[in-house]
């Protein structure tokens, strides 16, 4: 009989919608150990409290924009030992007891789950995405049907192109995108389906993407 060299894991994802602009907060549970983590503090703690356990150990911040950290103080007050994981630039701004920096390419363990950190600047310089097995939490870098915007301070459409096309769209086609806002026709979507859906994900090159982004912004007004 062959010897197993890799532990197979099971996990659940519970989604919560609310906050300032149809934000998502996610509660991820390792079903083998009961260990839990949160992605973004975008909804009041009372929404997620009935589903949290003593196994809640950390919260992953996708970026520093206020709507994604609006209720962070509530979460850390309820769970004083909560580790707050974020990009180094965001970590310096967060006033928490237990910060943990998440650099591109690093892996953080939640129970028996390995969370791979992908730094995806463009929407914001400190944007991180978090990849676990066949899912990726994309914050405001990638939504259902489009990318994030590149109009706020520190944003850059060319950098966003590199993050989306060279990092996220190179993940397996069946990877499921869990975005930071409920902006699409469905809450989540595979990368393959998202490419088919969004003209912003069908650009020929960086120049074409920047042009498509400019057209998209014009159509918003």
Residue 1 has pLDDT above 50, yes or no: no
Q: What is the pLDDT of residues 146-155, one digit of tens each?
A: 999 999 889 9
Where are the domains positioned within the chain?
11-220
Q: Per residue in 73-94, pLDDT tens?
A: 999 999 999 999 999 999 989 9
Q: What topology is assigned to 11-220 in CATH?
A: Metallo-beta-lactamase; Chain A (3.60.15)
DSSP assignment of 38-107 equals EE---S-HHHHGGG--TTEEEEE-S---HHHHTTHHHHHHHSTT-EEEE-HHHHTT---SSEEE--TT-E
Prediction pTM value: 0.95
CA distance 127 to 17: 20
Give the pLDDT score at 2. Answer: 42
- Return d(Cα 180, Cα 141) in angstroms, integer: 8
Q: What is the mean pLDDT of residues 61-75?
A: 97
CA 6, chain centre distance (Å) = 26
């Amino acid at each position: 009989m062959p010897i197993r060299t890799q532990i197979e894991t099971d996990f659940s994802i519970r989604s919560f919608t609310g906050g300032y602009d149809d934000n998502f907060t996610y509660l991820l549970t390792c079903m083998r150990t009961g260990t839990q983590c949160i992605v973004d503090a975008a909804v009041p703690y009372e929404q997620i409290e009935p589903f949290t356990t003593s196994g809640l150990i950390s919260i992953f911040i996708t970026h520093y924009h206020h709507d994604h950290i609006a209720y962070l103080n509530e979460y850390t007050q309820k769970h004083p030992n909560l580790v707050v994981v974020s990009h180094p630039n965001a970590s310096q701004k967060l006033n928490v007891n237990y910060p943990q920096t998440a650099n591109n390419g690093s892996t953080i363990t939640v129970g028996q789950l390995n969370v791979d950190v992908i730094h995806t600047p463009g929407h914001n310089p400190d944007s991180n995405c978090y990849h676990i097995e066949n899912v990726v939490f994309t914050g405001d870098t990638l939504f259902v049907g489009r990318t994030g915007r590149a109009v706020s301070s520190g944003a850059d459409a060319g950098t966003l192109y590199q993050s989306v096309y060279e990092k996220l769209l190179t993940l397996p086609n069946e990877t499921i995108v869990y975005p930071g806002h409920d902006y699409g026709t469905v809450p989540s979507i595979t990368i393959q389906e998202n490419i088919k859906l969004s003209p912003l994900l069908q650009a020929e090159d960086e120049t074409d993407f920047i042009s498509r982004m400019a057209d998209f912004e014009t159509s918003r007004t």
